[in-house]
Chains A and B, each alone.
Chain A
Amino acid sequence: MNQENNRKIILIDDNAILRTIFGYMLQGFSDYPIEFYPFKNALDALDFMESHDINASSGPAVLFVDISMPFMTGWELMDVLEDKTDFINQTKIFIISSSTSQSDQEQLANYPFISGFILKPFGKELLYEILRAPH
């Protein structure tokens, strides 16, 4: 399988267990080939995204980003990405969080390029639905 053509799924969450479950969930997705890149913090993910052309693939890359993380929160990552117009145009970005707080919902409105908000816990059906959505 040509790895360059696989769609890239990036998960940024400091919780190791979630990263593991997420990985298991993706294993059950068989519609098209994907590559899964989990990161435990946003800084590592940024390093990766800057050194790899993640969108040169069969479909736009999908980012799943937790909010509460050490070193750089999900919102701080959004601040960094906001300026990378090309990147946010080609990439689908989802926030995944257990937070239902008002302030986080208000933050969401500040970043119109975010495709959606996924509330934890979530089932694999929801994940598959997102991945099956037309590009």
Chain B
Amino acid sequence: MHLEQNSLSTPSAQTQRSGLEGLITTLEDGTILHLNERACELLALDNIEAKGKKLHQLTTFYSSEDASPLTAEQTPFQIALKNNPYDKEIILGIATGGTFKWFVFHISRFSEESKSGLLVSFIDISKVINQNHALKDKQQQLQLLVASLNDLVFEVTDTGVFKNYWTNDPGLLFYPPEEFLNKSLTELFPADLAIPTIQLIQKSLQLNREFKMEFQSPSEQHKDKWYSLQIKPIHRSQNRIALVVSDITKQIESTEKIRFNEHKFNQAFHFSGLGIALTNLDGYCIESNHTLTKILGYTQEELSTMKFSHNAHPDDVERDIGLRRQLIRGEIETFTVQKRYRHKLGHYVWCSVTIAAVFDNANAPLFLIVQVQDISESKKNIEILKRQKIESDLVKMDLETKVRQLEEFTNILAHNLKGPLSNMPMLIDELKVSTDEKVKADFLDLLKISTEQLTETLHDLGEILELRSNKSLVFEDCDFLQVFYKVKQQYIGEIQQKNAVISVEFNVTNIHYPKIYLESILGNLISNSLRFTASDKAPCIEIRTSLEKNGTLLTVKDNGLGINLPKYKSQLFMFKKIFHRGFESKGIGLFLTRYQVESLGGKIDVQSKPNEGSIFSVKFLERK
């Protein structure tokens, strides 16, 4: 804008006509000399009234920086007087009904004749300023937006040259901005990343579509970092795209983890040695693995329409209902039961079944994982083992008894046979050398007695050996009461003589056993009780039978002398052991009884205290 100096103090034709420009001339102190129509229009002033007044008194001006009102002193129309030389442009606004109008003022000095003053010319630039403000707002919003992103956003040309970038953290950039701006992807990155990217950029521009790719960090140091790269065509731009790079390492890691877990579960599910099925909460099979089809004989398709409990053995259906309920309520994590499932072919298979529930995030049960192990083989084996154990236990007991008996025979041989036998050569030696007829006669007597003793011992032993080898024993049904009556008859003399009372209580009335043994056992026990009696009380003998865990128990209780068990128990049932001084006894009864009992797998035992009587108990092993 240019005005001739000489026309300034008065409105010239040119200024009056000027269409866009407002013109005002003032004195040095700001008093308006002259203003054109446009100036009146723009500043909403009345031409007549305005003259002679000062511009800053007529209108409040606002700063273009922050839209704050300026005081009179701050307006350039006055300050300008003090600043020589003065020639400047300034943007100021005025308020018109809620909005601002913006003007650019050009202020310059003039002097004409005696007068000097200011020439203020201005045009309306509201549109530009408002646009500028809107732009600034947008930029600010954009900055806020960028700051809130964790992504890097670049503006890139169709040939892959970086033109601009936005980030909230410049540390995230691959290079310092000055190193990558205006450089091409191919210069900055390895070909295997740059080339596909450029291809995508061109495709995106051609098709006006978004594209996306993922890549691993090209830098060796950050090999484990993963990024996603989004290519977006920029609206109304022919050859620029926005390139958005986001760090997706965490997502990649977690998807990797999920994929790995899924894979793990799949492998475990399909290749497990256990039969596995996923069922819904009602027990309907959702999915099953191959092993399960082998266990149950149904195909996966057949299984998928089945309810598990339909195949359970009727006796086992109830077995896990309670546990299943607890599982679904989340009270237990898992449970295992053994139950039978019907095979497709109709037979039942013993299975060990472990069930666990899977819950969603809200802890609602989703489905059940059922693991099935075929344990019919081991069930069978356990049964076999149990049977074999019982058998081998019996054999072991039998062998232990036999070994003990063998040791006893060695003992009998050493003491009971060799002893009397050893007397004989000694007697013969004396007989040979002795001249005394009396001594010779005595020794011959002794020799005879020795022979008799030996014969008797051999006879006793023979009886015992017969027991051991007797295989023709006849097992028959023995009535305890009848056996008792028969035995009692044998000892009726002693019973009457000692005034003995014998009571019986046969809770078990019969036993399958060799009758002669039973008579002998009962006879020996009664005979012992009758023999070793206390002198001050009448013998009282109680005989009873009862059913024990695996056999019949016979007890004979007396109130006789009793036995010092701690001392004698080890010898009580031995051959020719005598425990009561002053009684007629060969010490063979209990030994024989024990042999009879043990030869058929039974046991004999005793409880006793001196002077308090004894309780002999015989456990008969039931033969089936």
Chain B binds chain A: yes
Report the stretch among B223-231, B392-400, B409-417, B602-610 that lies at the interface. B409-417
Whether A100 contacts B426 by the Cβ 8 Å rule is no
Whether B414 contacts A20 by the Cβ 8 Å rule is no
Report the stretch among B108-116, B472-480, B576-584, B591-599 that lies at the interface. B576-584
With a cutoff of 8 Å between Cβ atoms, the chain A residues found around residue B425 in the complex are: 121
Whether A99 contacts B429 by the Cβ 8 Å rule is no
Mask for A35-74, Cβ within 8 A of B = 1, else 0? 0000001010000000000000000000000111011000
Say yes or no: A98-B587 contact (C-beta < 8 A), given A17-B450, A71-B581.
Answer: no
With a cutoff of 8 Å between Cβ atoms, the chain A residues found around residue B450 in the complex are: 17
Whether B430 contacts A98 by the Cβ 8 Å rule is no
Whether B579 contacts A99 by the Cβ 8 Å rule is no
Q: Interface size for chain A: under 10, 10 to 19, 20 to 34, or 35 or more residues?
A: 20 to 34
What 3 pairs between A and B have smallest CB-CB spacing? Answer: A98-B418, A120-B422, A68-B415
Whether B423 contacts A100 by the Cβ 8 Å rule is no
Say yes or no: A121-B424 contact (C-beta < 8 A), given A20-B446, A70-B587.
Answer: yes
Report how far A101 CA is from B450 CA in the complex, Å.
Answer: 22
Contact among A18, A24, A104, A120 with B430 in the assembled complex (CB-CB below 8 Å):
A24
Report how far A101 CA is from B449 CA in the complex, Å.
Answer: 26
Chain B: minimal CB distance from A66 (Å): 8
Report how far A83 CA is from B430 CA in the complex, Å.
Answer: 38
Whether B449 contacts A17 by the Cβ 8 Å rule is yes
Mask for A1-35, Cβ within 8 A of B = 1, else 0? 00000000000000101101100110000000000
Q: Does B421 contact A (CB under 8 A)?
A: yes
Report how far A17 CA is from B428 CA in the complex, Å.
Answer: 13
Given contacts A17-B427, A67-B415, 16 further A-B contacts (CB under 8 A): A15-B419, A18-B422, A21-B446, A24-B439, A25-B430, A66-B419, A68-B419, A71-B581, A97-B419, A99-B414, A99-B415, A101-B410, A104-B414, A120-B418, A120-B419, A121-B425
Could you list 18 A-B pairs, sorted by A, with CB under 8 Å? A15-B423, A17-B420, A17-B449, A18-B422, A20-B446, A21-B426, A21-B430, A21-B446, A24-B439, A25-B430, A43-B581, A68-B415, A70-B578, A71-B578, A98-B422, A100-B418, A121-B425, A121-B426
With a cutoff of 8 Å between Cβ atoms, the chain B residues found around residue A120 in the complex are: 418-419, 422-423, 426
Whether A71 contacts B579 by the Cβ 8 Å rule is yes
Mask for A79-102, Cβ within 8 A of B = 1, else 0? 000000000000000000111110
Report how far A70 CA is from B588 CA in the complex, Å.
Answer: 12
Chain B: minimal CB distance from A15 (Å): 6
Report how far A94 CA is from B453 CA in the complex, Å.
Answer: 26
Determine which residue in B424, B425, B426, B453 has the highest number of CB atoms from chain A within 10 A of its CB, and name it. B426
Report how far A20 CA is from B579 CA in the complex, Å.
Answer: 24
With a cutoff of 8 Å between Cβ atoms, the chain B residues found around residue A21 in the complex are: 423, 426-427, 430, 443, 446
With a cutoff of 8 Å between Cβ atoms, the chain A residues found around residue B419 in the complex are: 15, 18, 66, 68, 97-98, 120
Whether A121 contacts B415 by the Cβ 8 Å rule is no
Say yes or no: A121-B423 contact (C-beta < 8 A), given A70-B578, A71-B579, A101-B414.
Answer: yes
Chain B: minimal CB distance from A106 (Å): 13
Report how far A25 CA is from B429 CA in the complex, Å.
Answer: 11
Chain B: minimal CB distance from A84 (Å): 20
Chain B: minimal CB distance from A94 (Å): 15
Report how far A90 CA is from B411 CA in the complex, Å.
Answer: 32
With a cutoff of 8 Å between Cβ atoms, the chain A residues found around residue B581 in the complex are: 41, 43, 71
Say yes or no: A17-B446 contact (C-beta < 8 A), given A70-B579, A121-B423, A121-B424.
Answer: yes
Q: Does A117 contact B (CB under 8 A)?
A: no
Chain B: minimal CB distance from A45 (Å): 14
Count of CB-CB pairs between chains A and B under 8 Å = 74
Whether B426 contacts A122 by the Cβ 8 Å rule is yes
Chain B: minimal CB distance from A17 (Å): 5
Whether B578 contacts A100 by the Cβ 8 Å rule is no
Report how far A98 CA is from B414 CA in the complex, Å.
Answer: 6
Chain A: minimal CB distance from B458 (Å): 15
With a cutoff of 8 Å between Cβ atoms, the chain B residues found around residue A134 in the complex are: none
With a cutoff of 8 Å between Cβ atoms, the chain B residues found around residue A99 in the complex are: 414-415, 418
Report how far A104 CA is from B411 CA in the complex, Å.
Answer: 10
Q: Does A112 contact B (CB under 8 A)?
A: no
Whether A18 contacts B415 by the Cβ 8 Å rule is no
Whether B426 contacts A123 by the Cβ 8 Å rule is yes
With a cutoff of 8 Å between Cβ atoms, the chain A residues found around residue B416 in the complex are: 68
Report how far A53 CA is from B449 CA in the complex, Å.
Answer: 35
Report how far A97 CA is from B418 CA in the complex, Å.
Answer: 9
Report how far A66 CA is from B430 CA in the complex, Å.
Answer: 21
Across the interface, name the chain A residue whose C-beta is closest to B578: A70
Report how far A25 CA is from B433 CA in the complex, Å.
Answer: 11
Across the interface, name the chain B residue whose C-beta is closest to A66: B419
Chain A: minimal CB distance from B229 (Å): 94
Chain A: minimal CB distance from B585 (Å): 9
Chain A: minimal CB distance from B578 (Å): 4
Whether A123 contacts B579 by the Cβ 8 Å rule is no
With a cutoff of 8 Å between Cβ atoms, the chain B residues found around residue A123 in the complex are: 426, 429
With a cutoff of 8 Å between Cβ atoms, the chain A residues found around residue B587 in the complex are: 70
With a cutoff of 8 Å between Cβ atoms, the chain B residues found around residue A104 in the complex are: 414
Say yes or no: A101-B411 contact (C-beta < 8 A), given A17-B446, A21-B423, A120-B418.
Answer: yes
Across the interface, name the chain A residue whose C-beta is closest to B453: A17
With a cutoff of 8 Å between Cβ atoms, the chain A residues found around residue B449 in the complex are: 17
With a cutoff of 8 Å between Cβ atoms, the chain A residues found around residue B439 in the complex are: 24
Report how far A97 CA is from B423 CA in the complex, Å.
Answer: 11
Across the interface, name the chain A residue whose C-beta is closest to B449: A17
Question: Which residues from 488 to 524 on chain B have a C-beta closer than 8 Å to any C-beta of chain A?
Answer: none
Say yes or no: A18-B423 contact (C-beta < 8 A), given A98-B414, A98-B415, A101-B410.
Answer: yes
Across the interface, name the chain A residue whose C-beta is closest to B442: A20
Across the interface, name the chain A residue whose C-beta is closest to B446: A17
Report how far A100 CA is from B415 CA in the complex, Å.
Answer: 9
Across the interface, name the chain B residue whose C-beta is closest to A121: B422
Across the interface, name the chain B residue whose C-beta is closest to A96: B422
Determine which residue in B424, B430, B439, B449 has the highest number of CB atoms from chain A within 10 A of its CB, and name it. B430
Chain A: minimal CB distance from B11 (Å): 153
With a cutoff of 8 Å between Cβ atoms, the chain A residues found around residue B411 in the complex are: 101
With a cutoff of 8 Å between Cβ atoms, the chain A residues found around residue B578 in the complex are: 70-71
Chain B: minimal CB distance from A44 (Å): 9
With a cutoff of 8 Å between Cβ atoms, the chain B residues found around residue A66 in the complex are: 419
Report how far A99 CA is from B449 CA in the complex, Å.
Answer: 21
Say yes or no: A98-B421 contact (C-beta < 8 A), given A21-B426, A68-B416.
Answer: yes
Across the interface, name the chain B residue whose C-beta is closest to A100: B414
Report how far A131 CA is from B426 CA in the complex, Å.
Answer: 18
Chain B: minimal CB distance from A46 (Å): 13
Report how far A118 CA is from B578 CA in the complex, Å.
Answer: 25
